[in-house]
Amino acid sequence: MKQRLLTLMVFSFILIVPGLAAAQLPDFTQLVKESAPAVVNIRARENADQTAQGQNMPNDELFRFFGIPNPGNPPNRDRVSGGTGFIISADGYILTNRHVVDGADKITVTMKDRRELDAEIIGEDEASDVAVLKVDAKNLPTLKLGSVNDLEIGEWVMAIGSPLSFENSVTKGIVSAKGRQIRGQQYIPYIQSDVPINRGNSGGPLINMAGEVVAINTLIFSNTGGYMGISFSIPIDVAMNVAYQ
């Protein structure tokens, strides 16, 4: 009788524990619904006669996202690349990475509702790799801005972007470290995370569970150019300080 009772207790414990573990995992569905409308896909067209920065990648483990090149573009024709951005004001100001739009002659922003808007570069900063764009529109959805000071290591975060040209893709992970220094960018205290990020995610938001942008997704550390579990993002405090300037 005691042995049967013990067996039932063990079986019940096995059934209950997975349920508890599942209950503790965060649900991102509402967060995506609220955040996705303010995230945009950016398509930058550059005349091929101009020298495109970033075409010759350095032989370095650190791989900077230069957007998504269009392999169908024949020689001596316009180059088209892509990335991500997010709306920070209802009257059309958008934050992204500078390398997403660097050298572009024409920039097109695509909203989640499939609207396409022409954008102009209001300001850009090479040192921080931050750029501010502007589209002619009103009453646009916006994202709330958080602070890196409130961000904890181990905290859940989410990214929305256009990796490999797949628009409005959502990935999640945790904050791995804060204040990372990377050669060539010594004064930017990068946020490191294990959120899956690939080419085309550049300029997109890293969002906490409160729906606040805490960083701009910018770099990965990789030997192959693909995601290997280490991603770097510019803290939103640094990015907004540059944007205001």
Catalogue the active-site residues: 99, 129, 202
Assess contact for 82 and 200: CB atoms under 8 A. yes
Where on the phi/psi map is residue 186: left (φ > 0), alpha (ψ -120 to 50), or beta?
A: alpha
Assess contact for 211 and 31: CB atoms under 8 A. yes
Alpha-carbon span 110 to 162, nearest angstrom: 11
Alpha-carbon span 13 to 16, nearest angstrom: 5
The two structure tokens encoding residue 218: 């910018």
Alpha-carbon span 4 to 6, nearest angstrom: 5
**Which residue matches tokens 């490999």?**
164
**DSSP structural state of residue 165:** G
Alpha-carbon span 167 to 159, nearest angstrom: 12
Where on the phi/psi map is residue 179: left (φ > 0), alpha (ψ -120 to 50), or beta?
A: left
